[in-house]
Each structure stands twice: as C-alpha cells, then as structure tokens.
Amino acid sequence: MKTKTWFITGTSSGLGRLMTERLLARGDSVIATLRKPGALDDLQTIYGERLRVMILDVTDTTALRRVVQQAFEGRVDVLVSNAGYGLFGAAEEVSDAQIERQIATNLTGSIQLIRAALPYLRQQKGGRIVQVSSEGGQMAWPNFSLYHATKWGIEGFVESVAQEVAPFGIDFILAEPGPTETNFAAGVDIAAPLACYDNTPAGEVRRGLAEGTIAINGDAVKTVDAIIAAADADHPPFRLALGSKAYHSIREALNGRLQLLEVHKTVALSVDKRV
C-alpha cells in the first residue's frame, strides 16, 4: 500500500495519540497538532521527519488557518478532525463560559478546520476528511446536552459539506465511537451540580459515572484500527458506528425517530398547499 500523509488534531492523548502511533508504525507520515508541547517527544525521537508536530488550539481560528496552510505545503491525503472534549452537567448547571468553550472547541473548531482545508484539497484534486464524532451525534444522554449539541451540529455540517465538495474528489467519514477506554473522562469539564437534579435522569447518569456502573466496552486500539481501515478504503462509509454500545444506541434512536415520524405522517402531509 502506498504510504500516506495524515493531518491529525488533538494528538496529545486518547484516540489521536493512538492513531498517530499506529500510522507511524506502519510507515506513514503524520502532521500532528496539539495544544501543549512535549507530548509527542518520544515519537519524534523514534520517527524523526515522518512526524511533524505543530502547536494548535483549534479555538484560535487565525492560528488554525496558518497551521493548515503550513501543513499543505505538501500533499495531505487524510485530515482527521479529532480535537474535542466532553462537558458534563444538566443544561441548567453548566455555565456560560463552559458552553462557549465547548462550542468553540468541538463545533466551531471542527467547522473552521474543515473550511480551512477545503481550498487545498480542491487544489490537489481530492482528499479525505475524517470527522471524529460520537454515538452522541445521533442519540443523547442526560447531562451531556452541550456535548451532544456540538456532535449533532458537526454531523449536520459535514452531511451538507460532503454534498458540496464531492465533485472535487473530497469525501468524508463520520466516525461515531461509543464509550471507549481512553482518557476521555479525565478531560471532561464537569459543571457544579444542583441538588434539585439528584432524583432525575440527570442524577442517575451522574451517579452511574461516579460509581462506574456505566459500561465502557470499546477498545481504543480496535477503534483506531477501524477508523484507519475505513480511511484506507476505496469507497469508505460515510458514517461508521464503532462499538456494540454505539451500534445499539444509534439503532434504537433512529428506530424511535422513524416510528414517531410515521405516527404523525397524516399531520405532516396535511400542511402542504393544495394544488
């Protein structure tokens, strides 16, 4: 297989770090971005020029555009939009600052990264973008309302943009992992709880996470390998659920929405203009 160059955001830990390791080990080159220097020094020592590390906070749009421009001084085969984190708390509990940071990182940052890359992908006559989303881009848990807002939002954005740029040979993959054994939980921003939510679904989820009773059955290595395999495919899936939890949660959510749509079919059709 021909070696590729990958541009990956959010590589200091988790799936981004692991993906960087796997790609370098198989002989590819990686342009890896992260917010704090030093996190990839060990890989830099091993792989030398095949790993190019760039400092980037995706909420800084000016810096993001500069980094993308520098990355595309050569060809980039696959861009992986991976930077992001979770915000945990009932909608009433999270602060304005927490909301703004969550949207700026997970949604606006991903949108601006893709927008910045498109002109270069067009100029090189094609390329592939992997947007790391979540099962939470198609279903929702209590206490993750803002996280879900960003993941549902980026999925809608990508679904539209994919149609716009398909004629230029640019395609997308929406990777949708379920709960996976990474250090995602360590980076979650947690809102100050309100006692009034203790005996509600939000409180149940809070206790489940605190007590470890919510199953996390996704394997990080298998998840990364599945994303890489999809990105290597001649005809990749547009959406890729990853993990049994993701598959069953998304399937249940889609079936529920379809059933609700059919229940109200008569009303939906009744509001058309009469011809």
The 10s digit of each residue's pLDDT in 246-255 is: 999 999 999 9
- Stretch 208-233: mean pLDDT: 89
- Stretch 184-204: mean pLDDT: 89
- Quote the distance between the C-alpha of residue 137 and its chain's center: 9
Q: Are 15 and 223 in contact (CB under 8 A)?
A: yes
Helix, strand or coil, per DSSP, at residue 242:
strand
Q: 0.85 exceeded by the pTM?
A: yes
Active-site hit among 4, 151, 245, 249 = 151
CA distances from 179 to 94, 140, 199, 246 (A): 22, 13, 24, 8
Q: Which residue has the higher pLDDT, 207 or 229?
A: 229
Active-site hit among 47, 120, 147, 197 = 147
pLDDT score of 211:
80
DSSP string over 64-102? HHHHHHHHTTS--SEEEE-----EES-TTTS-HHHHHHH
- Stretch 214-238: mean pLDDT: 93
Token pair for 219:
């394997």
- Quote the distance between the C-alpha of residue 102 and its chain's center: 13
| Tens digits of residue pLDDT in 134-183 | 999 999 999 999 999 999 999 999 999 999 999 999 999 999 999 887 76
| Tens digits of residue pLDDT in 58-104 | 999 999 999 999 999 999 999 999 999 999 999 999 999 999 999 99
Active-site hit among 133, 134, 145, 249 = 133
Q: List helix spans (H) across the chain.
A: 14-25, 41-47, 61-71, 96-102, 109-123, 145-165, 201-211, 220-232, 244-263, 265-270
147 is catalytic: yes
Token pair for 11:
């590589």
Q: Span 5-270: which CATH code?
A: 3.40.50.720
